[in-house]
Amino acid sequence: MLRIFKIKKKLIRAWLPVILVTVLILGVGTYFWQKPVALGGTANLMGRVETCLSLEMNLQLSCVNEAIEKISKERGVRVALDVIEPFSQEHTYLLNWSHEFSHTIGSSAVVNHSKDLEKQIGLALVECDGYGAFGCYHGVIEAGLSMLPVEQRASVIRGACLENPLIQEKQYYVNQCLHWFGHGVAIFSNLTLEKALSMCEGLNSSFNSDEVQLCLSGLFHSGAVPGDSDDTLLHNVQNVWKKGDPYFPCQDIAERFRGHCYSHSPGRSQSSIPQVILSVCDNIPEKDLSKKRDYVSRCYETSANIILPQALGNNGLTDDQKAQQVVSQCRKFSRPEYRQFCYAGAARYWVLRDPLLTNLNPFKICKSAEDGSKPMCYANIGFGNNENYYSPEKLAEYCNNSEPKYIKDCLSRNPHQHIN
Residue 171's Cα: distance from chain center in Å?
A: 17
Q: How far apart are the two ends of the chain, measured CA to CA in Å?
A: 46
Q: How many CB atoms lie within 10 A of CB 71?
A: 25
- Please state, in angstroms and as integers, the Cα–Cα distance from residue 315 to each residue in 84, 309, 311, 346, following that order: 21, 11, 9, 18
pTM: 0.74
Amino acid at 266: P
**Strand ranges (DSSP E) for 235-385?**
none
Q: What is residue 411's three-state secondary structure?
A: helix
DSSP string of 75-101, one letter each residue: H-HHHHHHHHHHHHHHSGGGGGGHHHH
pLDDT in tens, the chain (420 residues): 333 333 343 433 333 333 333 322 322 233 233 333 334 456 678 999 999 999 999 899 999 999 999 999 989 899 999 999 999 988 988 988 888 899 899 989 887 666 778 788 888 888 888 788 678 887 888 788 778 887 787 777 778 888 888 888 776 677 778 888 888 788 777 788 998 899 899 888 899 888 898 899 889 987 765 444 445 555 667 788 888 999 999 999 999 999 999 999 998 998 989 999 999 999 999 999 999 999 999 999 999 989 998 898 887 899 999 999 999 999 999 999 999 999 999 999 898 777 677 889 999 999 999 999 999 999 999 887 766 666 788 889 999 999 999 999 999 866 665 455
Q: Are 266 and 309 in contact (CB under 8 A)?
A: no
The contacts of residue 67 (CB under 8 Å, 6+ apart) are: 48, 49, 51, 52
Q: Is 133 left (phi over 0), alpha (psi -120 to 50) or beta?
A: left
- Give the chain's largest Cα–Cα span: 62
Residue 49's Cα: distance from chain center in Å?
A: 25
